[in-house]
Amino acid sequence: KKGEKWEARGRVVTRNLKNGSTLTGPALDYFRVVKGVRDTMEMFSTGRPRIEYTTMTPGTKPGEPYIIVADRVRLRGSERLWGGGKVTIDRSDFAAKGDSLRLDTGKGSDGTLVGGNPVMRGLGRDSFNLSGRRLDLKLDQREITYVTAKANGHAISKEWDLVADTIGLDLNNRKLDQTLAWGDSIRPYATSPAYAMRADSLALDTPGQKLKEVRGFGAAWLGGTIDSASKQR
């Protein structure tokens, strides 16, 4: 009663009645809202809890949930979440992992995945891999619309392989529309079986999940297919 806290141990299941999200795990501490003590509900869970984080907005049907698993998690209200220790995020269109996660599906509409060489993989026909020391997420209506890999960015798709200091992926309706890359210590360099391109910054346009145009800005260089004799482009 002193801390206005509920403690649950052993096969814990809890459901958020506002948005339908659920948490299951071995342990949960629930800090309820009390006037003069705490203005926002908070929950802490350890022992690798599993969260079905529903993307529902008021007046709409629940979207496909993000399945989040971590060694430990903290939730504040219905829109902010932190996870630590071997974090994984899965949904039908993507899978991501890292050591620490911050996610704000409310006013902030953003998130960050750091530590443990964070990686995000786009699944399905428009598959891709994106990695870096840090992945920043932007959301719109709780859907991921932009992902930025910072420091040692590396992106791979079916048609190209790209390295750069920073790489940004623009997603539209869960499909990759455009890739931007820039940096100084690692100048953007894109390769494919048919070409290679290097520049101070690069833009790869992929509307309809097909590579349409590659643009290089600032000291741009373009090479064609590799010559069989010289092994050079």
Looking up tokens 């993307």, which residue turns up? 55
Give the span between the Cα atoms of 81 and 11, in whole angstroms.
21
Exposed / middle / buried, residue 157 (Cβ in 10 Å: 0-12, 13-18, 19+): buried
pTM: 0.88
**Closest by CA position to 223, among listed 213, 214, 233, 211:** 233
pLDDT of residue 56: 61
CA separation (Å) from 89 to 30, 86, 92, 112, 138?
23, 10, 11, 12, 15
Comparing CA positions, the residue from 179, 158, 162 lying closest to residue 170 is: 179
Q: What is the pLDDT of residue 232?
A: 87
Tokens found for residue 115: 């530590």
pLDDT at residue number 46: 96
Instruction: Give the pair of three-digit tokens for residue 56.
Output: 């529902």
pLDDT tens string, the chain, 233 residues long: the values are 777 899 999 999 999 887 788 999 999 999 998 887 788 889 999 999 999 988 666 566 767 889 999 999 999 988 899 999 999 999 988 899 999 999 998 888 999 999 989 999 988 777 889 999 999 999 987 888 999 999 999 999 888 899 999 999 999 888 889 999 999 889 999 998 888 999 999 999 988 778 889 999 999 999 998 888 998 88
User: What is the pLDDT, as a whole number, of residue 20?
Assistant: 83
